Structure 1
């Protein structure tokens, strides 16, 4: 089955349009000097400049550890050392004793950036043309949600060079339909070269009750007071590093620490939110101006830089109502507190390295995977499920949740106006090919190899260059084969030459960008960019041209003044796109949540689950969206038995089938309403066949019916069901782990069923039409 993508023009699905990256699989060749990427031979020659910084005693250089620290959805201007008022003292200390790069670029989306970072190659080339949630089928081999074997990760290469390798935090590099307790595991961290893993496999996680995986198996949330995921991954990173340096002191380690922060939901203990009381009362227009001036003061942007104009859809702060201001201030305080808390955890890891004498010989690369997001839209959000289903929230609901923002009940996301502040001085956001989406901070800290403490580097650098630089610095030749597979050459260009020479000319000359049809191309100080209008032919897109060497923030469009240059840039984009397998283009994004390819594990019509099975991710659960289906549960019941038969989701969205007070109940939480069917009479003791049926009556609507031994006992009309993603929490059989779906049993823990469940069987019908826009 390959579900056709079609958009339903229902009013409830209006929202901010989100973009993504699309590709077709293509081969890769060494780039020419004009494209800015050196051959391996040329790269190896540059190692001498690094080795000059090593001891001259004739002894081999001391072991060198590597640490990649990645933030999620944090903009160019969020760190103190990049102009922010947010307290980030530990990252600022890294900047003071290392190098800050102000011309560093990523893909404008998380999975592609991570794939490029870990492989040293362009994301389309390695097969990660979109986020790992989406599988567009074999017609789009570069949009299957995984890294191809011909692009070995840095963990795989370093493992062959004697490193121990550890991954922590967000993975998001395996097709999420494969996030099951039984794998397949080959795209999980341990299948991609890491010895250990602790984190989550999907795109985001609740910070207090995440869906955790350790190595290759799911684990429960630690039974620990005030557990927070950011703290948990740093605890583990310290444990892994401690075990490494204690039991194998001569073995270097590679630590990949990818925080769930700063992605929504923004969740952090209240004391961190409260430390920003009063800081944001003047609003986003003032704060943006203040950051812009501070950036000039710090020298992190050129003195000639102009502040980009306000993004479309962002209201002037002074025009907002008191309720809007009150809610938006608290949302920003929550984000700021979240970042300060994250910085504090990074500080713990850095302090550990210093205490154990490992800091000086560790190369730390810190970056954000893309610019700040605008998915919060005009009002922000207190319900992640609604935002991802294009369902706008109401200001009244947001105001009601002000006091619990940052907590378990209301993990928040700020409105686009604050996202614009995070991306100062640029325009637009994550999921666009403007600088707001692609231009992020990068700090490199390596006392043994970098002597220019606190330096700012202006050379053009792309995320694919990071791993190429690590290989160069360590003197590692990329293997021609890994696990028996011929390897693609690197696309990345080493920037070790910048460590000692701040005035060196950029070696990288060319880099393309593409996300959901939005495109851009950088070449030798110029940048052409287009924002695609969804549904329109790509050839009608209007391109803009910026001389970014002189116009840092892309303010002055020179397309009309320099038509010849624009044509040259567009032609270059086409060549790079063909070379890297970007074509054909597509402008789909969140609509693809509900797309199921024929060869997906979710393409079956029948699924059978048994009690005792591990928690199953929502992305791997039966695809019930916009179709008729049945859930059949044979049980043994005696009077007084109660509990959950099956549950998927949490208090924000999802569905649950349970027994309470001798009645059978089905409840569907659509986020803005709850639909509930309750059996008309008490259940009778004995062998019962419990069944829920959903009969589709229209797009995303239908009748839900309860049956006991084939007799209908309850019914509910469901006027609206979620169109793209049912929940951000997965499925349990015989209990409801993590957050409860229903408020009826939220004070009863997992509410495990006290009777006996034989099995749970889903049967899906064919009458499915997936939304398309």
Structure 2
């Protein structure tokens, strides 16, 4: 079908990880297979929640962290769609066409930037569903599926002279959640929309393949998605006793910043009466007490507001208002997570459920550095503040309560972990295509009290213009400041950090370790070549045959 990136691989890799070799559903014989609930927030800062040192009230997430395992060095792809693609497929975003955001306008015509996930690679529900799981989702999709009803101005603006054929429409339709394996779906197909919906009409929230009917006055999406998740959970249990997989990716606290007024006022009383630098310092102190940061870790205050301070009191007030709403949105979300956990308890399912939580990337740049304290950078940047999130894993009787793990892991590990927990094998083929071994590994050995090794290499790239490669304690950044670096430099800007000693990235060691820098650059170049990673502007010119409007 047009637009699909077909992947044909001639055989499985020789070394097959244990989670791929498990004998499918037979592994669950004689025991109840676990339910799996994966919750993801959008643009939460690393140290925003209470369980990571923040002042935002998140008692339900805190309780899950105390009752399970907190993973402190857990990485995402630093952007909405690439992270979601890695979660759902267990593969590098560029490998499945999601090197940038989702949507037909992000299709640059080359394999790593298609704006939609490769349909020849399975997603989690397409594996768990046939293995006997109920599969349900409530929240933000942002993986490219959509209903394109007519050849309107948007299509013509991006593809002048190109006909919107029935085949193209079908291709994008087949990328929607129901067509990608979810029995039940409610939520956003795109990346953002208003949280409050005062009908009529609803223009963005779908149920199944159609726009949802929302007739509740002052409906709020974080609560509304939770209502649907709970409805789907109860519906599944009424049907039968099969296990379920619930994917609950909240839009909160992503833009637009909207929250109930009473909760916002609560945080106005805090943030307008406290020096932001004191809040930052308190977060660092709490993180050290919690064992999230080493006691002797260097930390350079990042200035909680904008990098260069506030140009006026008006701008300072504007920033503080955003911080208040950002915090309120996360408190409301935490309350909704509590409702889901309580529902599981009432259903008698909590003891049989693996619950995981993380954010899709760091807090957005408009939050300044406060949300990602003590790390520098923000969403869409590859410093630790953009791509590092805490992970919570909770499973009573399996995951030891109150434990912390500092091993590097990433969203690539979630699919293999869920399949391992369910006793389900990764398929050798999908829709007639042979599949190779995904790059992640199951975290279940660590969840059960053992250990897992850090990945040999971990790679992320954004737009083919900024990249990062991790190996053990070492992290090499290439043009981490993106346009700040590339607009005035012909040669790439390189930053090397020893994360064991310097997790806040305060000392660039690139000039003192040239051999290590070159070794990591070679590994990154090999990865980029394998997945045809191309600078985005060049990709547009090559794939669409038109001049890119940005460097």
TM-score range, shorter chain: 0.7 to 0.9
Q: Secondary structure at the match of 1:365?
A: strand
Alignment of 1:251-650 (within 5 A): 251-281=242-272, 282-310=274-302, 314=306, 321-374=312-365, 415-417=366-368, 420-450=369-399, 452-501=400-449, 504=451, 506-516=453-463, 517-531=465-479, 532-533=482-483, 536=487, 540-579=491-530, 581-586=531-536
Whole-Å Cα distance in 2 between the matches of residues 46 and 495 of structure 1? Answer: 15
Distance apart, 1:297 and its partner CA: 1.3
Q: Deviations over 1:499-555 (max 9, x none)?
A: 1336x3624221011112111100121110022436659861111111112222222
Cα displacement string for residues 678-703 of structure 1 (whole angstroms, at most 9, x for unaligned residues): xxxxxxxxxxxxxxxxxxxxxxxxxx
SS at match of 2:267: coil
Q: In structure 2, do the counterparts of structure 1 residues 769 and 106 end up closer, same or farther at CA, with 3 Å as the change threshold?
A: closer
Q: Is the 8 A contact 1:30 1:489 kept in 2?
A: no
Shift of 1:119: 0.9
TM-score, length of structure 1 as denominator length:
0.62
Residues 507, 528 of structure 1: CA spacing in aligned structure 2 closer, same or farther, 3 A cutoff? closer
2:109, 2:543 within 8 Å by CA — same for their partners in 1? no
Q: 2:135 aligns with which of 147, 162, 165?
A: 165
Deviation at 1:474, TM superposition (A): 2.0
Counterpart Cα distance in 2 of 1:225 and 1:510: 50
> In the TM superposition, what whole-angstrom CA distance separates every residue of 1:628-669 from its partner, at most 9, and x where no partner exists?
xxxxxxxxxxxxxxxxxxxxxxxxxxxxxxxxxxxxxxxxxx
- Secondary structure, aligned partner of 2:173: coil
Contact 2:48/2:371 (8 A) holds in 1: yes
Is the Cα–Cα contact under 8 Å of residues 129 and 181 in structure 2 kept in the other structure?
A: yes
Of 232, 237, 261, which residue of structure 1 is paired with 2:224?
A: 232
Q: What is the rounded CA distance, in whole Å, between the counterparts of 1:31 and 1:480 in structure 2? A: 7
RCO greater where, 1 or 2, for CA within 8 Å and sep 6 or more?
2
Deviation at 1:131, TM superposition (A): 0.5
Q: Does 1:201 align with 2:189?
A: yes
Describe the SS at the equivalent of 1:301: coil
Which structure shows the bigger proportion of residues in strand conformation?
Answer: 1
CA deviations over 1:388-445 (Å, ceiling 9, x no partner): xxxxxxxxxxxxxxxxxxxxxxxxxxx342xx11111111111111111110121111
- Give the CA deviation at 1:260: 1.1
Structure 1 residue runs without a partner (length 5+): 1-23, 33-37, 375-414, 600-767
Cα displacement (A) at 1:107: 0.1
* Residue 142 (str. 1) matches residue 89 (str. 2): no
**Unpaired runs of at least 5, structure 2:** 152-168
Indicate which of 1, 5, 16 corresponds to 1:40: 16
Distance in 1 between residues matched to 2:505 and 2:190, nearest whole Å: 33
* Structure having the larger proportion of residues in helix: 2
* Paired residue total: 517
Deviation at 1:60, TM superposition (A): 1.4
Greater shift in the superposed pair: 421-430 or 208-217: 208-217
The CA deviation string for residues 551-598 of structure 1, in whole angstroms up to 9 with x for no partner, is 22222111111111111111111122223x142223699xx9xx9987
Deviation at 1:299, TM superposition (A): 1.3
